[in-house]
Amino acid sequence: MTRYDDLSASEFAQGFPTEETISTLRDELFFQRAVQAYLWSLPAINIWAMKEGSEKQFGSGYNVLPIWQNRIDAKTLVTTPNFDVVYAMGYLDLDEHGPLVVEAPSGVLGMFDDFWQRPIEGPTIDGHTWKGDVGLAGPDAGEGGTFILLPPDYDGPNPESGYVYRSRTRNVFLFWRAFFSDPHDLTPAVDKLESTVIYPLGGKDRALAMHFPHASGVECNMLFPSDGTYFEMLDRFIQNEAVDRSDLDLRGFLHTIGIEKGTPFTPDEHDRELLDKAARTAFKISKVTVTHLLALEPGGTYYDGLRWVNTFAGENTEFQSSETFTNLEQRTAFFTAAYSDSPGMVMNIVDKGAKYPATMKDADGNWLDGAKSYSLHLPPKIPAALFWSVALYDNVSASGLDNGQPFPSINTMDKPTYNQDGSHDIYFGPNRPAAADDSNWLRTVPGKGYFVIVRLYGPQQAFFDQSWKPSDLKLLD
């Protein structure tokens, strides 16, 4: 008999459960609630882990904005970072500091997300309501501007100037990406990010001086746990954050496993063991979702007959394009392997935002193997108004593949070798294939699987009408 047969055949005597049945089904309920709580809370704990990891290493406060001054590399453990821009990532506590004003620099591609990684709703201008986006895809159109962040319980007067964004959570994720043209001189991009100013509403004169810790090359773990400590982190999140009444049913799942706002989380040894097993199971389910189930969803692949998957099919930042349900497969697949969410990332906007085709399989449908060599063909006129890149990620943690190269990526600015017709061939393998050179080869690691993301910043019409498309990765002899 299978486990499911055993559960369905649990013994009842005269209609009442036996002691064995009570124990078995109580634990089953606890385990199931814990697994679903893990998967449901992934967006929140993904970003909460980033906050805790960053603040442990670089400090906390509205005035603290870490900058990856030499670009992010594999020493920073975080899901699917972009190695080919200069990052600034900050965590703003609107409960501790009240409404905050952010003077955003010009020329960035940025966003404000709440701590469920939902783009924060901003002003309505000429009939369009802005959500999350700042900079090139935002209301300031890349010119920079003053943004005001209000907490969920704010009942004061509406600010009369600036772009006003009201968060549904007490904490807000600030995420800037600055571009560069010369990978050997990132100073202009760093200077741009360091012109950010943040201060309490009405308190600019009394504000703390901005602090920009340099984060490149610093070991920093910002990954969410895959074991029972996940639920300890989830409890810290619940205790810190506001209650959204739309979440009350799912917070009932948390109540079952002992997590409740205002109540200490004190599971006994038996329940801790169940929570650990539930977390390990849920983490693996999330990986089945991103490796298998995602591609089965409507629009889950970009191209017929090719392996490139699309997490944001439906162009909806909350995975609700059906208008009748939240697509939890897409949601889980995204947040087990990535962070941050805004219309600029999701919507099909020619020459703005970004697109992220990803693959874990080769042309024959086999998992990518770090001991083998492959090639990827990018046809001429790659449709990226800003830049394109190809990057490698660890298939378990989704962090950058630590392959011994300075960055596990190749981008436009690196000026990789191109073919006579303007196309590019990118090579992957533990050793450089004979047809490759150092500019178009990414090293892989024997014994480790990985996945590939092609980033197109400022995707052009040829991407959307599919007159341009990348090949699958082809196994080399």
> In this predicted model, what pLDDT tens digit does every residue of 298-335 receive, in sequence order?
999 999 999 999 988 888 999 999 999 999 999 999 99
Cα torsion angle, 200, 143, 345, 74, sign: negative
- Span 349-380, pLDDT tens digits: 888 888 999 999 999 999 999 999 999 999 99
- Give the 3-state secondary structure of residue 327: coil
Mean pLDDT along residues 442-470: 97
In the chain the first and final C-alpha atoms are separated, in Å, by 45
Q: Which residues are 390's β-sheet partners?
A: 410, 454
Q: Directed axis angle between helix 19-40 and helix 269-288, to 10°?
A: 50
Torsion over CA of 398, 403, 407 and 410, rounded to 10 degrees?
-90
Indicate whether 1 pLDDT > 80. Answer: no
pTM: 0.96
For residue 342, give the DSSP letter: -
Task: Sort 121 into a burial class: Cβ within 10 Å, 0-12 / 13-18 / 19+.
Answer: middle
- Span 86-129, pLDDT tens digits: 999 999 999 999 999 999 999 999 999 999 999 999 999 999 99
In percent, how much of the chain has pLDDT > 90?
94
User: Could you tell me if residue 161 is left (phi over 0), alpha (psi between -120 and 50 degrees) or otherwise beta?
Assistant: beta
Q: Directed axis angle between helix 19-40 and helix 248-256, to 10°?
A: 130
- Span 219-274, pLDDT tens digits: 999 999 999 999 999 999 999 999 999 899 999 999 999 999 999 999 999 999 99
Cα–Cα dist 292/360, whole Å: 10
Nearest CA among 265, 221, 280 for reference residue 52 = 221
- Span 5-61, pLDDT tens digits: 999 999 999 999 999 999 999 999 999 999 999 999 999 999 999 999 999 999 999
Nearest CA among 39, 29, 3 for reference residue 330 = 39
Cα–Cα dist 216/233, whole Å: 26
Q: Is the Cβ–Cβ distance between 106 and 129 less than 8 Å?
A: no
pLDDT for 201 equals 96
pLDDT for 352 equals 82
Query: In sequence order, what are the residues at sequence separation of 6 or more whose Cβ sits closer than 8 angstroms to the Cβ of residue 223?
Result: 49, 53, 77, 78, 79, 397, 399
Cα–Cα dist 42/53, whole Å: 16
Task: Write out the E strands in 193-340.
Answer: 197-200, 220-221
Residue 184 to residues 49, 69, 126, 417: CA-CA distances in angstroms? Answer: 31, 12, 41, 18
Task: Please calculate the CA angle 252-258-259 and round it to the nearest 5 degrees.
Answer: 70
Cα torsion angle, 416, 371, 452, 406, sign: negative
Alpha-helical regions (H) of 261-387: 269-288, 328-335, 343-346
For residue 405, give the DSSP letter: S
Q: Is the Cβ–Cβ distance between 28 and 21 less than 8 Å?
A: no
- Span 193-214, pLDDT tens digits: 999 999 999 999 999 999 999 9
Indicate whether 152 pLDDT > 90. Answer: yes
For 90, the enclosing helix (H) or strand (E) is strand 86-93
- Neighbour tally for 61: CB within 10 Å: 17
Q: What phi and psi values does residue 412 have, to the nearest 5 degrees?
A: -50, -45
DSSP labels, 425-450: EEEEESS--TT--TTSEEE--TT-BE
Query: Rounded mean pLDDT of the chain?
Result: 96
